[in-house]
Structure 1
């Protein structure tokens, strides 16, 4: 039966090519726009190397202070090294915690070399390599003992190694960042700027900074650190937040005139996306509402248009429907046939739309996936095949196709199936 429906659908496509093309293109555009939103969301929230644990990671990007005597007065920045050590390194409910001085622009070169290359260097700790999972092509990361002793070791990306040495066999060789010598301990695959937390082109221990140029200020509460917490399981998030709150309360108890505030942090991956600045709360509700409205509009507008075209097509087939009803076809069969035919059209449009969405994201990634730091970073927002092609994305596309099919064909199919046999035979 379904084979017969398919043959009839293909015949209808050939019979009115213009109407069929409009239906498919209309569906494709709707699916394409929706899938662009889905793919962008996936790229920013799903687990991708080296941020392979986003689903069980918490982030603290910002910090603020309030005056104890004048609560209306406040200042905001990032975390101090003191806060990272006292409030986060001590967490017992977390699997690992890392503090990062994120991507600082440096000039990289090698002794005797003639080329200075601008690159982004992150200052971090040994736990960084546990919170994030990098693909090491050569060597290994610096360990806790080396971090504590302040040994000048560096992990660099493949492209940086090739630019400076022409190959990646560079373990044990020297490299300079702004005229300070380091020894290369590891080489990793290049990291896209889309991996905002882990991104850099080189990573060194922050203990190499003898007199930090990132001085802690405001009674040692504000600084230039970000903190990333790896939970054993996402079910531990509340436990971790409670422990962080207790640590902050204990820290504030010893403060003279200023208290630390975290404005609801640590945040999940999605929540931290909605918290753009240090002086504002996360806009989760507003973000969800905004995207929900966009998705509903993108579904309803083409569905209404396609519904009109489907109804027009049904009017031309009323005689056929009347004959089928006269020969015993029931309402369920007629409804199923019409929905099936429209579903084939929707699937064709969905496939075209899915292709358009991949092409759109790939060629417009600088705009769609831009961040406030893009103009300052030396790296690129590269997209891997894994980021674009995922089974979940295909399932989303199929779901949208089914929704669009039901919205656009449901009412016309219901009306056609309820038409009186006499009226249908007389094409009324």
Structure 2
């Protein structure tokens, strides 16, 4: 029976080529956008180089101080003292990587200006993040203590300063009007992974700030790693207890908001929660509404096209009903036909997606980004095809099954 449905579906698609083109274009375009978007989200949130242990990490990148009496607020990264004095005293963490946000700087090579992004880190940073070293190794604890002017650079930065095939180990690179000796070269990090992306990685002891300043606000962030993902709730609880005991000042601030968040929570709290609310539910609502609207418009268009085709096939429906075809049989037939059409569109969408992903990966839109269709992306793409086919086929199929035999036959005359 499915074989007959398939033959009928092919014949129907050939009958009105323009409608077929419009239907396939709408389906393939929609699915291409969904596949590319899903690949992007998967790339952003799935554990990947150089952070394969994200499932047992929490991130602290901001503190919000409020003065309720003055209705004042200040939000910023944290001080090194905060992590070194308070967070380091917690019992749950196994490793604490401390680093600054990316800071832009100008470097020069042969009188040519090169814009680079700096990140100051502690030594544990190289234990938490599993960088692939192409040359050398991370700076040592001794080099940190001695405030040696050493640097780890990305392979992309090496190419800018020394050439594609050149060796950089032991050479000097200029940034911030300072010469740094290269002790390591790492495989580049995707630009969107802002917690560990940089062109140059420097010892945190080289920052110009007073690292012993006891204020809570500063320029540092941290990735806190635990031994097992089961320890994450305990870490959040212990961290909250620590925050509740921090000293307050009635004059400057009396409310402190600071949280160790999972990767998605960091983004939603910063973008939607203003550093206070987690806002994950709000993010899912916004994203889900966008996807629903994006799928609803082409679905309605396909429903209208299918209804038009029903009127063209009224005589066929009338004859089949006259010879005993049940409403259920006709409904199943039309739904299967629509699913076949959707799968054709899905196949085209998959091909278009591969082309778009290749173009995006080859472009400089996001350096070192590698979007791909992995099993997770493919599963959701096939699920989208199924949902799309059912949504656009059920109502027209029901309408077709309700056509009166006499009316359908008369419509042909």
State the match for 2:393 in structure 1. 409
Q: Does 1:220 align with 2:215?
A: yes
Q: 1:338 corresponds to which residue?
A: 334
Go from structure 1 to structure 2 and tell me whether the alpha carbon gap of 1:383 and 1:155 turns closer, same or farther (over 3 Å shift). Answer: closer
How far is 1:267 from its partner?
2.0
Q: CA deviation at 1:396?
A: 1.8
Q: CA distance change for structure 1 residues 195 and 331 in 2, over 3 Å: closer, same or farther?
A: same
Answer yes or no: is the 8 Å Cα contact 1:214–1:223 preserved in 2: no
Q: Does 1:382 align with 2:392?
A: no
1:317 equivalenced with 2:316 (yes/no): no
Residues 18 and 214 of structure 1: CA distance in aligned 2, closer, same or farther (over 3 Å): farther
- The 1-side partners of 2:322 and 2:375 are apart by 45
Is 1:130 aligned with 2:127? Answer: yes
Q: Does 1:57 align with 2:57?
A: yes
Query: What does residue 77 of structure 1 align with?
Result: 76
* Structure 1 segments unaligned to the other structure (5+ residues): 366-378
Deviations 1:306-336 (A, max 9, x none): 1121122122223323444455544443322
1: CA distance, partners of 2:156 / 2:143: 25
| C-alpha distance 95-420 of structure 1, shift in aligned 2 (>3 A) | farther
**Closer, same or farther in 2 for the Cα pair 1:334/1:264, shift >3 Å?**
farther
Is the alpha carbon distance of 1:66 and 1:401 closer, same or farther for their aligned partners in structure 2, counting shifts above 3 Å? Answer: same
CA distance in 1, matches of 2:407, 2:258: 65
In the other structure, the counterpart of 2:41 is 41
1:299 paired residue number: 295
Which residue of 375, 381, 384 corresponds with 1:397?
381
Q: CA–CA distance in 2 between the matches of 1:7 and 1:80?
A: 69
Structure 2 residue aligned with 1:21: 21
User: Which of 280, 284, 293 is the matching residue for 1:284?
Assistant: 280
The aligned residue for residue 140 of structure 1 is 137
Q: Deviations over 1:341-379 (max 9, x none)?
A: 1112112223333455566677689xxxxxxxxxxxxx9
Tell me how many residue pairs correspond in the alignment: 409
Equivalence for 2:5: 5
Q: Distance between the aligned counterparts of 1:131 and 1:344, measured in 2?
A: 48
Is residue 243–residue 258 contact of structure 2 (8 Å, CA) maintained in 1?
no
State the Cα distance separating 1:419 from its structure 2 match: 4.0
CA RMSD of aligned residues (A): 3.3
Determine helix, strand or coil for the equivalent of 1:94. Answer: coil
2 CA distance for matches of 1:127 and 1:252?
28
Question: Does the residue aligned with 1:117 lie in a helix, a strand or coil?
Answer: strand
CA distance in 2, matches of 1:346, 1:262: 52
Alignment-derived partner of residue 199 in structure 1: 197
The equivalent of 1:271 in structure 2 is 265
- For 1:373, the equivalent position in structure 2 comes to none
What 5-or-longer segments of structure 2 have no aligned partner? none
